Structure 1
């Protein structure tokens, strides 16, 4: 039966859910509180520069391609995807490490640093590929209402090899001992929301989905991906409403009946909330309609927030790659200050993206587009003074790495973005940037439910529910939510 469906939020999961629901024949409306599409993947332009506001790592290209294939399309119908070589560079205190696109060259890099590590990388990637193929095609596609969903011959047969009960920290050290190789292999799980010691070894699949399948860039930026998804949705009849914050979800008995948008009550048969899960429950629902109370959320482990700077630089900067990781300091110290001590870091690591190295359209001629990101704890105090302190430190380290003197004087555009902005723009719980951590105690059925248990026709999607944070998981989350609509 054709339903009238409201989707709250136009990020990756919201657009995905809307497109799949429209494909199934439903009337779908997306309500976006901001003036542009994309949620955390919005973009903006100023002074001739175009900045992606959020995602910048294009990993797991097959999962993204799979979304387009579901609608009879290809990514190449909408944007050009180019491989990055090197994939990225890691800056250490005593030397730098460039990760090549070519896997055989990557093996040689490992072997050069640690005897026998090249062959062990083969073993690691063989195991990671198995986890990727089972995990991304079987494990993460479940709605996770019950553990019984995982009782299948394929998953049962794979259970031990998926390493759900061992941690990533120990797993990496079974293969490698060189500190730089350990850091290189642990880096991909940082944004899953916990220290490597608290992440299941299952997530070595991230290494395969990144290093082995390659690091890519969509020419024009991630906005091209968002715009392509929006075009698919609109071609299927989806209506997108901007500057349309949802103030309340209305309900009668056990059914959601509609939403209040800018003071106007709109009726719907089904609601999918791609908005922040905590905000949706605590601010849009009555207390007796919520799955979880405030105490529940306080106990949860969240992925980091971050301090971001968008910079336009009036000259070319030699010695920079598209992606650069500044890891001169201790990874374990920074992660402990994010997840355990929950304070501003004493010796931070940070990430720099320079898309203008690949894509001239992102900056004026002979200029550079820089995106700086430093992971930080959620819920800590945000201030201009703290932003400026870390900005100066990051600029100093970039100057040292590139040999550029007085880089700050060459910045002609600067904008910062941090905890208070995530809260204002996305209603993000404690200013989180990446959702709920993928710890063992927050995996699968142990994540917040994709379905409201009090209102039969209210569903959730996005990085605070299954399968978790990241662009590919968000696409999958939207598909799961749309499939649940068909069960109502």
Structure 2
């Protein structure tokens, strides 16, 4: 940018992972950036909670996956995790997974251990089938990094290109991860072991596309990591980098609405709850997308209609999360512990169909003090229990148009008490630590319920991971990064492309900021930058994926051509039926009848 030209101004609403990364990237490109955050802390759900007696808890994410996406963000901002003072600790074991009868499966990147664990349940041929599953999950991982996390989807037409269709078919998006897993594992136990990770996206494995086996692939191939000092240390480091580039942060600054020009078509600033008005050339929204369209954007027929449709879309689950200060070490618990329901499918149906707490819930126990001793005083443990539950039945301040009258009332005090009792009883029964009386060791307790998630972070319906990632809500079907109906407004975060999860949101910050800069004709500083070389190995540049070199000829047979054409047509029809905002749809007069 010409130094003699006054820099463009940008306001970022929300200091979550996406907002922090987008702000730093925009500042690096020469923009004058201000971040507005409603809370008194940065990081959003990736924030820390401390007690007066020395315990520390990660409020949201407690395990780090896809470490190279984090490294890429720092590298493209001319830094590194190490230079920023972030130390990643690798968990020696991924999970201890407990079943109702007391049996345990240990998941680890150590192939020798995995071979022994799998053959115990699946027999000698089981490990061969596991390796075949892992090879397919590797494809899902590589294709997704190269074709999804590097690309913005602004039109349904992009999904119909022959090359994208070819890769898309290999992602198995029309088959659930549960269904796909049954092709490789014969026992119910291991099907559960290799599907529960869909809860990272707040989805049931019986609904989540098979593509997301990439999540457990990255755990097994790259390991599970934890930032020493808590997850928020990574975002604190990004805040510091951004400030070094000129980003200004204002805490306790909740936004009331996005301001626009007189015609309501172009964003030109924001108004705070205090009444203060701030002008800007660009507004980047890192607040929850569904909440933002309903509460922050100008009231127009187009936005009101779109907001209503968003509230009716499938959302992720919520959680009842307990944060316990414990007066002793509980050695029976590892860093990451999964307790799987015996009634596996029924437990997911209770969450996603009844929007409630399952009678027999699956849940996750994290003991950060097991990997990082600074999380608790010496000789003690900090424990986090996350119990997935249904989200709230309606959006705050909205009519209950999306609420089914057949659903049971959500009595949260009762459900919290039930969840607490179930978690403590199950831990004691399955791990053999009943002798310790875990309940009696808890000296302090914090609880986050769906209502707390909604109030603290403006998450629509308290859905902790935003909109769902079912087939009709990904890629070009997901809400766009460029805001609908208002120019100069953009989104970054869990409910826009590419989706939820901290590393995915960081990749999304790259996509959104590149779109902003391209729209303004500003050079993208990191475009073409060589990938980093880290202590853990070379950071692979997925912009030129090795998958490309392994692909067979694109249309090597008439059969492939026919399949590609059929799928392309189906993709376009789905897009039209969903009334996506594409030029083609807008030109179809008969579209009004849909």
Q: TM-score range by the shorter chain?
A: over 0.9
| Candidates 450, 465, 484, aligned match of 1:419 | 450
Query: Distance between the aligned counterparts of 1:60 and 1:406, measured in 2?
Result: 37
| Candidates 86, 99, 104, aligned match of 1:96 | 104
Query: Distance between the aligned counterparts of 1:395 and 1:228, measured in 2?
Result: 36
| Candidates 209, 228, 233, aligned match of 2:237 | 228
Superposed, 1:84-123 pairs within 5 Å as: 84-94=91-101, 95-115=103-123, 116-123=125-132
| Candidates 251, 255, 259, aligned match of 2:266 | 255
Residues 405-431 of structure 1, C-alpha deviations (whole Å, 9 max, x = no match): 432222111110011111111111111
Q: Does 1:356 align with 2:369?
A: yes
| 1:30 alignment counterpart | 35
Query: Distance between the aligned counterparts of 1:476 and 1:369, measured in 2?
Result: 31
Please report how far the alpha carbon of residue 210 of structure 1 lies from its aligned counterpart in structure 2 after TM superposition. Answer: 1.8
Q: Does 1:7 align with 2:12?
A: yes
Query: Distance between the aligned counterparts of 1:30 and 1:241, measured in 2?
Result: 6
Contact kept? 1:198, 1:440, Cα under 8 Å = no
SS at match of 2:82: helix
Please report how far the alpha carbon of residue 191 of structure 1 lies from its aligned counterpart in structure 2 after TM superposition. Answer: 2.9
Query: Distance between the aligned counterparts of 1:271 and 1:170, measured in 2?
Result: 42
Contact kept? 2:350, 2:358, Cα under 8 Å = yes
| Candidates 23, 42, 64, aligned match of 1:58 | 64
Moved over 4 A (4+): 150-154
Query: Distance between the aligned counterparts of 2:377 and 2:392, measured in 1?
Result: 37
| 2:248 alignment counterpart | 239
Residues 360-412 of structure 1, C-alpha deviations (whole Å, 9 max, x = no match): 10101111000010001111535333212211221122222223443222211
| Candidates 501, 515, 534, aligned match of 1:484 | 515
Contact kept? 1:6, 1:28, Cα under 8 Å = yes
Q: Given the superposition, is the C-alpha separation of residues 113 and 295 from structure 1 closer, same or farther in structure 2, using an over 3 Å criterion? A: same
Residues 47-104 of structure 1, C-alpha deviations (whole Å, 9 max, x = no match): 2111110001211112222211212222222221122121111110121111123133
Q: Given the superposition, is the C-alpha separation of residues 110 and 304 from structure 1 closer, same or farther in structure 2, using an over 3 Å criterion? A: same
* Gaps in structure 1 of 5+ consecutive residues: none
| 2:223 alignment counterpart | 214
| 2:537 alignment counterpart | none
Q: Which of 228-237 and 46-55 deviates more? A: 228-237
Q: Given the superposition, is the C-alpha separation of residues 464 and 292 from structure 1 closer, same or farther in structure 2, using an over 3 Å criterion? A: farther
Name which one, 1 or 2, has greater alpha-carbon Rg: 2
Query: Distance between the aligned counterparts of 1:61 and 1:276, measured in 2?
Result: 24
Query: Distance between the aligned counterparts of 1:137 and 1:226, measured in 2?
Result: 25
Residues 337-367 of structure 1, C-alpha deviations (whole Å, 9 max, x = no match): 1111222221111110001111110101111
Superposed, 1:73-152 pairs within 5 Å as: 73-77=79-83, 78-94=85-101, 95-115=103-123, 116-150=125-159
SS at match of 1:318: coil
Q: Does 1:338 align with 2:351?
A: yes
Query: Distance between the aligned counterparts of 2:504 and 2:81, measured in 1?
Result: 17
SS at match of 1:414: strand
Query: Distance between the aligned counterparts of 1:382 and 1:264, measured in 2?
Result: 39
Contact kept? 1:16, 1:478, Cα under 8 Å = yes
Contact kept? 1:93, 1:329, Cα under 8 Å = yes
Q: Given the superposition, is the C-alpha separation of residues 328 and 423 from structure 1 closer, same or farther in structure 2, using an over 3 Å criterion? A: closer
Residues 428-452 of structure 1, C-alpha deviations (whole Å, 9 max, x = no match): 1111111111101111111112212
Query: Distance between the aligned counterparts of 2:450 and 2:480, measured in 1?
Result: 25
RMSD: 1.7
Query: Distance between the aligned counterparts of 1:208 and 1:134, measured in 2?
Result: 13
SS at match of 1:86: coil
TM-score of the superposed pair, with normalisation by structure 1: 0.96
TM-score of the superposed pair, with normalisation by structure 2: 0.79
Q: Does 1:474 align with 2:505?
A: yes
Q: Does 1:270 align with 2:287?
A: no
Residues 155-209 of structure 1, C-alpha deviations (whole Å, 9 max, x = no match): 3442321212222121111111111210111011123233223222221211212
Q: Given the superposition, is the C-alpha separation of residues 344 and 112 from structure 1 closer, same or farther in structure 2, using an over 3 Å criterion? A: closer
Please report how far the alpha carbon of residue 230 of structure 1 lies from its aligned counterpart in structure 2 after TM superposition. Answer: 1.1
| 1:443 alignment counterpart | 474
Q: Does 1:375 align with 2:419?
A: no
| 1:394 alignment counterpart | 423
Please report how far the alpha carbon of residue 120 of structure 1 lies from its aligned counterpart in structure 2 after TM superposition. Answer: 1.5
Contact kept? 1:274, 1:460, Cα under 8 Å = yes
Contact kept? 1:276, 1:429, Cα under 8 Å = yes
Residues 217-260 of structure 1, C-alpha deviations (whole Å, 9 max, x = no match): 11111011111111221111111110010011111122111111
| 1:202 alignment counterpart | 211
Superposed, 1:295-310 pairs within 5 Å as: 295-310=308-323
